[in-house]
Amino acid sequence: MSQDKSALDAVIAATQILEDDERFNAGTGSNLRFDGTTIQMDASCMTSAGDFAAVAAIERVKNPVAVARCLLETPHILLVGDGATTYARQCGYEDYDPTTAGAKSRLQKILSVSEQMGDWSRADLERAWNFETPFREALGTDTVGSVAWDGQTFASALSSGGTTIVLRGRVGDVPLPGCGLYASKAGAIATTGDGEYIARSLLAYRAYLELEKGLSPAQTVDWALNELADSVDIGIIVVNQTDFAGGARHRMAWHGQSAQEPA
């Protein structure tokens, strides 16, 4: 990390790179909803200095996490829907359609499983799935996020394009403090997976408490992965002053790098 950049700068920059990569379900690459038109995204950032800001159900922006970062300059901690999108324009972020061919393809795969999609439960749909693309990849629960420590401050950031099988206006764990992410004096946490389950369990905050009690990042990851039912997607990355760890119950890519390692 450059000497003049903070942990917050690092997690925002890293998360924007992931938002711009169509392989991930965030920013460009976000999932279409059932109507085949709507894309609503969530993003957040938090630091151990007590800063937190988030946007939820924001539309037609390229980098939702950058809008969340901009919101840190206001007294508010969360903007939603049209208000979040209008605020993005005030911050100078231009209109942007994140719809991709990949998003359209994923939607068609989901819809073609059954003409009466509403009759399927998630478990039944997964058992019936017969496409080459894995069910969990097609539904896009792969939220993106970053954690960092700059020697003084911890920071965490998240961004998500949501899932297809939800109502318009659905908000998951990402923009809720202590649910998808948490940062304080002992370290920073970012989670991914099934947002409703993560939010109801306050997973990021509770994992942070374990880290604060003295668990290592690797032990904290193991603790979190065992907290929810085996059928629930969970991924988590954790950093403290001396170490970093990440892991997932199901498929999730992650990477760690220190200032001593080449880029």
Give the model confidence (pLDDT) of 15-72 as tens digits. 999 999 988 889 998 988 877 788 999 999 999 999 999 999 999 999 999 999 999 9
Q: Which domain holds residue 154?
A: 7-97+138-180
pLDDT of residue 115: 44
Residue bearing the bigger pLDDT, 207 or 262: 207
Dist CA 96 CA 75 (whole Å)? 26
User: Which residue among 28, 47, 99, 143 is the active-site one?
Assistant: 143
Out of 39-53, 125-139, 203-217, 238-252, which region has the weakest mean confidence (pLDDT)?
A: 125-139
- Other C-beta atoms lying within 10 Å of the C-beta of residue 28: 21
CA distances from 132 to 122, 135, 136, 213, 230 (A): 18, 9, 11, 43, 23
Sheet holding 181-184, edge to edge: 181-184, 187-193, 234-239, 244-248
pLDDT of residue 116: 47
Is there a domain that residue 259 lies in? no
Query: Of 223, 205, 204, 206, whose CA–CA distance to 215 is shortest?
Result: 223
Is there a domain that residue 164 lies in? yes
Is there a domain that residue 127 lies in? no
Is there a domain that residue 215 lies in? no
Out of 16-30, 116-130, 190-204, which region has the weakest mean confidence (pLDDT)?
A: 116-130
pLDDT of residue 112: 66
41 DSSP β-pair partners: 58
Is there a domain that residue 22 lies in? yes
Rg (CA), the chain: 18
pLDDT of residue 4: 67
Active site residue 143: yes
Judge contact between 19 and 26, C-beta under 8 A: yes
pLDDT of residue 176: 97
Which residues fall within 8 angstroms of residue 19, CB to CB, at 6 or more apart? 26, 27, 28, 29, 62, 63, 64, 65, 144, 159
Residue type, 174: V
pLDDT of residue 18: 94
* 197 secondary structure, DSSP code: H
As for how many domains the chain has, the answer is 1
Which residues fall within 8 angstroms of residue 55, CB to CB, at 6 or more apart? 41, 42, 43, 44, 64, 67, 68, 71, 78, 79, 80, 84, 87, 88, 175
Dist CA 235 CA 143 (whole Å)? 9
Judge contact between 174 and 143, C-beta under 8 A: yes
Residue bearing the bigger pLDDT, 249 or 80: 80
Dist CA 216 CA 218 (whole Å)? 5
Is there a domain that residue 229 lies in? no
pLDDT of residue 121: 66
Is there a domain that residue 15 lies in? yes
Is there a domain that residue 92 lies in? yes
Q: Highest mean pLDDT: which of 25-34, 128-137, 205-214? A: 205-214
Percent of the chain at pLDDT exceeding 90: 63
Helix crossing, 7-19 with 64-71: angle to 10°?
150
Residue bearing the bigger pLDDT, 229 or 140: 229
